[in-house]
Chains A and B, each alone.
Chain A
Amino acid sequence: MHDYVGGKADWAVHGLPLEGRTAGRRRAIDVVRKDIPTCGPHERLGDVRERVRAAGHDVCIVVNERGVVLGRLRRECWEREAEARAEDCMELGPPTERPDPFLHEVIDRLRKVGSLLITQYGSQEGAGRLLGVLFREDAERTLAENERLPGEDAPSS
């Protein structure tokens, strides 16, 4: 007997085939943006600013050398102090979430906080590592286009 310890959650977040009544329902990982700039805690904010502007975003995630989330920088940081270090200005404890919940399970939280950092979970190697950022507008658009929330009636024809 073999035990697939990652289970259905691990299988699903890697986009592998599922079957069943709700198979195909979108999860947090399916809608994350993976191009959000990152920086190290000791980087100069002036350098971070250039990178973030080049990427066309106004947020930067601070990660350690293993990609584990340490904090979040917003525009006010790098526009204020070019010589300061990321760790001096970062917002500690930004809201995070696992990659496997369905969008309808996280939408209420997203509406409160605006975005969630999706991170590797559990005891797997790389736990806490940034996988992407899930934005409220992306989740709402995907739900509106593809899915009804549980309990919502089907549109009448």
Chain B
Amino acid sequence: MPIRITREDVQRLTADGAVLIDTLPEGEYAEEHIAGAVNIPQKKLTAQATAHLAKDVPLIVYCYDTD
């Protein structure tokens, strides 16, 4: 179960090297995404899809908003 975090948490974690994953469709990612984020659309978000990412840093996923 993912841990819910805030904007401030994201800033702190990414400053420490966390990987930010934009789960929106590729077209939306191309239009606009959080600086530094990589794109893995939600439908493709599997263990295999994240296998190439660093294992020793936190992974943060986001979409447009889930509030």
Contact = CB atoms under 8 A, between A and B. Distances in A.
Nearest to B63: A7
Interface string B16-31: 0010101010000111
Category for how many chain A residues contact B? 20 to 34
Q: State the main secondary structure of chain B at its contact with A.
A: mixed
Nearest to B66: A5
Nearest to B20: A4
Contact of A2 (B3, B11, B22, B24): B3
A4 B64 contact: no
B46 to A, nearest CB: 12
A6 interface: yes
Interface of B: 2-7, 9-11, 13, 18, 20, 22, 24, 29-37, 58-67
**Would you list the 6 A-B pairs with minimal beta carbon distance, nearest first?**
A122-B67, A3-B2, A7-B65, A17-B35, A4-B62, A20-B32
